[in-house]
Structure 1
Amino acid sequence: MAREISTVGVIGLGTMGAGIVEVFAKAGLTVVGVDGTPELAERGKGFLEASTGRAVAKGRLSEDDQAAVLGRVTWTDQLGDLKDVDLVIEAVPERLEIKRDIFGKLDDIVRDDAVLASNTSSLSLTEIAASTKHPQRVIGMHFFNPAPVLKLVEVITTLFTDDELTTSVRELAERLGKKPVVVGDRAGFVANALLITYLARAIRVYETGHVSREDLDAAGQVGIGLPMGPLTLSDLIGLDVVKEVCDVLYAATHEPSAAPPALLQQMVTAGRLGRKSGQGFYTYEKAGSGTVLDAPAAAERSSGATKTVGVVGTGDLATELVEKLTESGAQVTAVDDPAADLAPLAGLPLVLLVGGPEAGCEDCGGGECLIAEGADPADATACECCHGKAPAAWFGAVAEALDERTVVVPTDEASAWALIGHLDPQVQVVPVAVHQPTRAGQLVEVARQLDASAEAVDGVQATFDAAGFVTLASRDRAGLVVDALLYPHLNDAVRMLDSGYATAEDIDTAMTAGCGYPQGPFAMIDAIGAEEVADGLTQMQLETGEPALTPSPLLVEHAAIDRPFLG
């Protein structure tokens, strides 16, 4: 039988603790808020008054309802005032010794049937529970910041936790309007184990100098569609917190990808903790502010946009590029027929090649048969099953029609391969990757190759900028930036599923309800295709030798039989 929980104590009244107080008070429960001094308790009260006041101002809460919420909360600096509550949640700093000390004191204060919960984001709940007289009543309730907004609550069990308690806490989370995910006691649980490792990888990408901080953030926000870029998010969370979770994850797994990057450690040592200190990856107006002071001026590349452009290829992307370039004021020469006269392409400053499977036939994958293992792309002049219509079969002729006056822009791997053996060595090639639109825009990644001039790269970027795309430039590496961030992140989710720790549905719920993802990792894999994700990881692993990039066996299995993870 589920326990009746109507009175709740919250220990620690910082931003997170005050948010948890608000969640319970809004749900109609009586709350006792506790912090170490009267001043800190009063500060917690101020957080709640300010938060509910903003809700009233925006019309989301009536003044009567605000008064009712505030009236359900008692503020104190005495742990003894928790003696009659049904549930206590601690939301103190992530230090095991602090949490164990508090739980030890609570043993002698609360009723024997009271539930003790921790809001820890990564520490061992088993170690916390083991230090108490009644470890079977200890459970995790991990809320996500801001607690009144984000729906996820990770309910963490230990070997001590009984099923009845788990059921009661899960049902309580549902009463609060949350989406609970029940998992066992493992470092980082679901959301932080995936999110913090993703942030650590992103910081390592930034360390290499492959990409600027703004472009790295654009890759996450615009390219992947996440609520914010990884460096901005790290600053928001607090670089000290990111490092602490990295330390916990690495201590538990010894995975190099979970270890705190050197740059992160240096920044924490230097006191550059993000928004909370006023300096992190970005510099802010003041401590606690989200206003960035050192944001660079918007790139003035529009004047360098190429006004005469060729687009060669067929399919949806080719059509989209022709339309957007034309709308930007460019004069576009479109070639979508291998039998067309190629002379108008000669001398154009910019020619885009759009190949890919959609432009050919299903039997050969749009000319991919011509670049299979053992094939010589230089000999690919016709494709029997496509009758010469696949881009990889006729782009060679396009390449031979061009000279050093033209910058060639392949938009996919098949187009790039088709150039081999046909292109004049003096012709500059600037590959790009055009991503699907997200709620923040549509990203184009521009690859900087060693033999391409800065002027050529800037010209390509300016042309896409003028056409309404969001662009970033990075070194030409496998996965560029977007896939280099996303695919290992998705692979980590598959590894978690393969370990039996959580279901695909629960992992997706954790990342959408807890981290604001528009889609969970498995919905993303199903949309992209398991085979494409696995192939991308393999290319990155071959280039870098990083073991963590090896595709999960479960991902490979799904790719082999083309089976989705969901549905």
Structure 2
Amino acid sequence: MDRPSTSDPATSPSPGTSLGTIAVVGLGTMGTGIAEVLARAGREVIGIDISEAAALQAVAALEASTARAVQRERITEQERRNALARFRTFSDLQAAADADLVIEVVPEHYDTKHEVFSALDGIVRPDTILATGTNALSVTRLAADSARPERVLGLHFFNPAPAMKLVEIVSSVLTAPTAVAAVTSLAQELGKEPVAVGDRPGFVADGLLFGYLNQAAAMYEAKYATREDIDAAMRLGCGLPMGPLALLDLVGIDTARRVLEAMYAASGDRLHAPAPILKQLSEAGLTGRKSGRGFYTYEAPGSAGVVSDAETPAGAGSAAASARSVRSVGVAGSGTMASGIAEVFAKAGYDVVLAARSQDKADTAKARIAKSLARSVDKGRLTAEARDETLARISPAGSLDAFADVDLAVEAVAEDLEVKQQLFTTLDKVCKPGAVLATTTSSLPVIACARATSRPQDVIGMHFFNPAPAMKLVEVVRTVLTADDVHATVREVCTKVRKHPVDCGDRAGFIVNALLFPYLNNAVKMVEEHYATLDDIDAAMKLGGGYPMGPFELLDVVGLDVSLAIEQVLHREFRDPGLAPAPLLEHLVAAGCLGRKTGRGFREYARR
């Protein structure tokens, strides 16, 4: 199985370079990816796997990926040949004898990893660094059971290793600083972003990510929303590259369950207790893409192609109820969200009445829309003619009396239940029979708004996301009293305004906020516990999780007061101790540090 090396002196490390020869034990998907990163960066790579098939597959994968890199002009053909020559495969751990660093990426079972480390103790040099690729097991325990615990650490790459920039470097209380420094330098030389963390299950990125994934699995298990709606909500509402259930299938449901078990054992937090459905799917062998079926069904084991199954929603036009006719829309409010929603409807061809508490406020809101449309014209997204037609469809009004003839009334006023209830009482009086009444609340009970009217069957939640003209998601929130034709009407309207509707029931947070804010709260707890810094946590989630913003960037943008209010609502609704707002967040809000809008939140911002 040995493939002799003919390394290129022009790109190989000089004799004085530390960690020039690196062994990778375990040539699965992750091990192969790490080997590729190392070989392309000029390291001599010793790939070790007891399976000859796995080793051959790793060589083939490296050949294919480097060929694609040449085709895309990212490397030259000579660089490709040099990288391939630096990668040799073996079936025996003895091949690691001359390695400066050994990276273990065998299956996530302690006994298996311990066996590898024990064998390496008798093979490698005394100064060789031993790294485990675990993301859930105890690095400290592996180190303590090693002959030289000071040389053992965690080196957690993210999949796919060649593309993902984050590497978590995990120290135990036994790890020598020199070992950490050497591996940190290596990560930087590989073009990665190293984040130093302590030894606890999940570390930073997975510690935050897997709690969120677990909550999504529990939400699906409770039949609160379909798998498609949960995934679409998080992609479109938060800008994530994948929905949580699709991501669980990619990671492996059995892997996620093991990580969560380890996290729960360490934290005792119910949010980390694996949702029962994860156990059920794992024990049934439905572990995700690798088995061909998990939350979704795939074309074949290992395939990314999703195929229809018994849970796939029926096509358009299958709704049991007919939608009501909507030609005109009333939008109540004068803030950013109200203006954005009015713009959305007007651009889609609806006549819009934009009502505020005074005519001046309504006129100011329309002027805000005019500026937004002008920017779209300047960027070539809209013609001047379309801008003028859109503005002509918007009629500003200083009273809700102007809603007398609208077919759909949408309120976008302050997130205060008493204010909204008063507004719905007024809508009940001024709107014609059969008009649909919608609230854009993100956290308050829709049923409380409905009960403020004499026609609760006509009331529904229609939660747009900010900025409304740009964000594609609308959460359609039914109460137990919402009529079927009202629900059908709002879904049809969402489609006409080019938004993606997702259905959910009337409970705190709906889909997006119920999954997003516990994750944000847990990030704050990490800082409280001095486990990681703001910058490291933000970097970990952007580079390791593909999030468009880190949790602290997002908290400061949303507003710490708004975030705290949502977390308090979630805590009151679900009564779970793990949802209690982090004290640090409460203290910052009490101090008036509310984020970008005040110039200071978790970070400080320049005053405008």
Instruction: Using structure 2 for the length normalisation, give the TM-score.
Output: 0.83
1:127-276 aligned at under 5 Å gives the runs: 127-276=141-290
> Distance between the aligned counterparts of 2:262 and 2:115, measured in 1?
19
Q: Secondary structure at the match of 2:307?
A: coil
- In structure 2, runs of 5+ residues without a counterpart are 1-15, 360-397, 594-600
> Distance between the aligned counterparts of 1:440 and 1:110, measured in 2?
56
**1:282-332 deviation line (CA, Å, top 9, x unaligned):** 000001111110254654599947333222332333333233223323333
Q: 1:332 aligns with which of 352, 375, 378?
A: 352
Query: Shift of the alpha carbon at 1:396?
Result: 4.8
> Distance between the aligned counterparts of 1:414 and 1:237, measured in 2?
34
Structure 1 partner of 2:568: 538
Structure 1 partner of 2:602: 565
Question: Does 2:311 align with 1:311?
Answer: no
Q: Is the 8 A contact 1:354 1:415 kept in 2?
A: no
> Distance between the aligned counterparts of 2:488 and 2:451, measured in 1?
26
Query: Shift of the alpha carbon at 1:417?
Result: 10
Q: Is the 8 A contact 1:371 1:417 kept in 2?
A: no
Q: 1:204/1:425 Cα in 2 relative to 1: closer, same or farther (>3 Å)?
A: same
Q: 1:158/1:190 Cα in 2 relative to 1: closer, same or farther (>3 Å)?
A: same
- Alignment-mate amino acid for residue 50 of structure 2: G
- Alignment-mate amino acid for residue 472 of structure 1: V
**1:51-101 deviation line (CA, Å, top 9, x unaligned):** 222222333333222112111111111211111111110110001111111
Range that drifts further, 96-105 or 418-427: 418-427
Query: Shift of the alpha carbon at 1:136?
Result: 0.7
Question: Does 2:133 align with 1:103?
Answer: no
Range that drifts further, 23-32 or 303-312: 303-312
Q: 1:184/1:438 Cα in 2 relative to 1: closer, same or farther (>3 Å)?
A: farther
Q: 1:415/1:329 Cα in 2 relative to 1: closer, same or farther (>3 Å)?
A: farther
Question: Does 2:392 align with 1:354?
Answer: no
Query: Shift of the alpha carbon at 1:347?
Result: 4.5
> Distance between the aligned counterparts of 1:76 and 1:521, measured in 2?
43
Q: 2:435 aligns with which of 403, 406, 409?
A: 406
Q: 1:149/1:298 Cα in 2 relative to 1: closer, same or farther (>3 Å)?
A: farther
Question: Does 2:503 align with 1:470?
Answer: no
Q: 1:142/1:407 Cα in 2 relative to 1: closer, same or farther (>3 Å)?
A: same
Structure 1 partner of 2:96: 82
Q: 1:83/1:322 Cα in 2 relative to 1: closer, same or farther (>3 Å)?
A: same
Q: 2:140 aligns with which of 126, 137, 159?
A: 126
Q: 1:137/1:349 Cα in 2 relative to 1: closer, same or farther (>3 Å)?
A: same
Q: 1:465/1:439 Cα in 2 relative to 1: closer, same or farther (>3 Å)?
A: closer
Q: Is the 8 A contact 1:449 1:476 kept in 2?
A: yes
> Distance between the aligned counterparts of 2:113 and 2:295, measured in 1?
30
> Distance between the aligned counterparts of 1:76 and 1:418, measured in 2?
67
Query: Shift of the alpha carbon at 1:270?
Result: 0.7
> Distance between the aligned counterparts of 1:558 and 1:164, measured in 2?
38
> Distance between the aligned counterparts of 2:581 and 2:515, measured in 1?
14
Instruction: Using structure 1 for the length normalisation, give the TM-score.
Output: 0.89
Q: Is the 8 A contact 2:446 2:479 kept in 1?
A: no
Q: Is the 8 A contact 2:509 2:566 kept in 1?
A: yes
Query: Shift of the alpha carbon at 1:183?
Result: 1.2
Structure 1 partner of 2:394: none
Q: Secondary structure at the match of 1:121?
A: coil
Structure 2 partner of 1:37: 51
Q: Secondary structure at the match of 1:168?
A: helix
Structure 1 partner of 2:540: 510
> Distance between the aligned counterparts of 1:163 and 1:287, measured in 2?
43
Q: Secondary structure at the match of 2:489?
A: helix
Q: 1:527/1:146 Cα in 2 relative to 1: closer, same or farther (>3 Å)?
A: same
Q: Is the 8 A contact 1:3 1:168 kept in 2?
A: no
Q: Is the 8 A contact 2:567 2:581 kept in 1?
A: yes
1:379-394 aligned at under 5 Å gives the runs: none
Structure 2 partner of 1:69: 83
Structure 1 partner of 2:9: none
- Alignment-mate amino acid for residue 76 of structure 1: F
What is the number of residues matched between the two proteins? Answer: 537
Range that drifts further, 413-422 or 524-533: 413-422
Q: 1:139/1:422 Cα in 2 relative to 1: closer, same or farther (>3 Å)?
A: closer
- Alignment-mate amino acid for residue 603 of structure 2: L
Q: Secondary structure at the match of 1:333?
A: strand
Question: Does 2:61 align with 1:47?
Answer: yes
Q: Is the 8 A contact 2:457 2:481 kept in 1?
A: no
> Distance between the aligned counterparts of 2:603 and 2:125, measured in 1?
44
Q: Is the 8 A contact 2:332 2:400 kept in 1?
A: no
Q: Secondary structure at the match of 2:289?
A: coil
> Distance between the aligned counterparts of 2:470 and 2:24, measured in 1?
37
Q: Is the 8 A contact 1:222 1:440 kept in 2?
A: no
Q: Secondary structure at the match of 1:424?
A: coil
Q: Is the 8 A contact 1:404 1:424 kept in 2?
A: no
- In structure 1, runs of 5+ residues without a counterpart are 358-367, 381-391
Q: Secondary structure at the match of 2:235?
A: helix
Structure 2 partner of 1:288: 302
Query: Shift of the alpha carbon at 1:354?
Result: 2.2
Question: Does 2:495 align with 1:481?
Answer: no
Q: Secondary structure at the match of 1:445?
A: strand
- Alignment-mate amino acid for residue 241 of structure 1: T
Q: Secondary structure at the match of 2:18?
A: coil
Q: Secondary structure at the match of 1:226?
A: coil
> Distance between the aligned counterparts of 1:544 and 1:271, measured in 2?
32
Structure 2 partner of 1:496: 526
Query: Shift of the alpha carbon at 1:341?
Result: 6.5
Q: 1:444 aligns with which of 447, 457, 474?
A: 474
> Distance between the aligned counterparts of 1:225 and 1:270, measured in 2?
32
**1:28-69 deviation line (CA, Å, top 9, x unaligned):** 111111110333211211121122222223333332221121
- Alignment-mate amino acid for residue 452 of structure 1: T
Q: 1:426/1:139 Cα in 2 relative to 1: closer, same or farther (>3 Å)?
A: closer
Q: Secondary structure at the match of 1:116?
A: strand
Q: Secondary structure at the match of 1:352?
A: strand
> Distance between the aligned counterparts of 1:320 and 1:405, measured in 2?
25
Range that drifts further, 416-425 or 183-192: 416-425
